[in-house]
Amino acid sequence: SKSKNAPGTKMVFVPGGEFLMGTDDPGIPPDGESPQRKVHLNHFYMDVHEVSNHQFQSFTNATGYVTEAEKFGDSFVFEGLLSEEVKSQISQAVAAAPWWLPVRGADWRHPEGPDSSIADRLDHPVLHVSWGDAVAYCTWAHKRLPTEAEWEFACRGGLQDRLYPWGNKLNPKGQHYANLWQGEFPTHNTGEDGYIKTSPVRSFPPNGYGLYNMVGNAWEWTADWWTVHHTTDRQPNPTGPPSGTDKVKKGGSYMCHKSYCYRYRCAARSQNTPDSSASNLGFRCVSPEQP
Ligand SMILES: *[C@@H]1O[C@H](CO)[C@@H](O)[C@H](O)[C@H]1NC(C)=O
């Protein structure tokens, strides 16, 4: 059925053209940010902000959609956000990243497990959504996920070869431009930017295209399969490899600190299996046509 009730997220025009994707400078080498390469894109429209809990609720209300985390019965939550009660029931952790715990009953309506809710966070990014959940939402809204190249072009906001959507300084004039981690990761987040967890989807100044929170707040799924091998031949509208095991996510999250996750840069990237969900991973949609 047509999504007559699809929430009207404002979208902005992203002009397309040629840009330098990735970086040689040196970024995080194992992440495959290099080599920097010329990419040409057609124009498109992009949601000005990450899909919010309120918007996702409109989708599930209209369709009865059930997310993968709800089907699995658990999802990954950052330990620092859990109540002692929930933490005491968990025995298993991820060896390489012990601050991630699989929490029974964690899903988009219960971001920190059964004793949490989104009631006071309807304007925050929806979390605990898998890649398939994100595709289902965008399809319902007559949109799609951005390719990695579209996402990165949009992140750059019309600037050339800069680290962040606003330039090269993390905190110009002492101001925060993104929801990141201040303090010692993973033990102490000072919340100097105003937030310990997610922030509303329209917090911090938008970039040159009018896009909010392209870096920080929540990671964003893209359409592409993951690879670290890139040709330096000029690519028109690249869509990534034809298949793979992981999908590319971009932008970093409120958990990113330079010491551990210097991935709140436009060129930065990371990966998850498509069925993954976590308390710092969301998405936004694009459309080739004016909405
Ligand atoms: C979804 O349905 C619930 C229950 O009827 C309602 O409280 C909520 O406001 C609805 N949300 C949206 C965004 O329409």
54 CA → ligand 1 middle, Å: 8
| Position in ligand 1 atom list of the atom nearest CA 60 | 1
Residue 3 has a pLDDT of 44
Residue among 56, 60, 61, 63 whose CB has most ligand 1 atoms within 8 A, to mutate: 61
Along the 291 residues of the chain, how does pLDDT read in single tens digits? 344 445 567 999 999 999 999 999 988 999 999 999 999 999 999 999 999 999 999 999 999 999 999 999 999 999 989 988 888 888 777 777 888 999 999 999 999 999 999 999 999 999 999 999 999 999 999 999 999 999 999 999 999 999 999 999 999 999 999 999 999 999 999 999 999 999 999 999 999 999 999 999 999 999 999 999 999 999 999 999 999 999 999 999 999 999 999 999 999 999 999 999 999 999 999 999 887
Residue 55 alpha carbon, nearest atom of ligand 1 = 13
- Around Cβ 289, how many Cβ atoms within 10 Å? 9
| 118 C-alpha to ligand 1 centroid (Å) | 12
pLDDT at 124: 98
Q: Ligand 1, atom 5: nearest CA belongs to which residue?
A: 61
b (16+ CB within 10 A) / e for 167-203: eeeeeeeeebbbbbbbeebbeebeeebebbbbbbbeb
CA distance 163 to 10: 26
Q: Which among 253, 262, 260 is positioned nearest to 282, based on CA atoms?
A: 253
Q: What is the atom index within ligand 1 of the atom nearest the CA of 122? A: 13
- Of all protein residues, whose CA lies closest to atom 13 belonging to ligand 1? 58
Residues lining ligand 1, CB < 6 A? 54, 57-58, 61
Q: Counting atoms of ligand 1 from 1, which one is nearest the CA of 7? A: 13
Q: Which numbered atom of ligand 1 lies nearest the CA of 54?
A: 13
Structure tokens at 239: 């869509």
Q: What is the pTM of this model?
A: 0.96
Quote the CA–CA distance of 53 and 7 in Å, as a whole number: 11
Give, using CA atoms, the residue closest to atom 14 of ligand 1: 58
pLDDT of residue 27: 87
Q: According to the model, what pLDDT value does residue 8 have?
A: 64
pLDDT score recorded for residue 26? 82
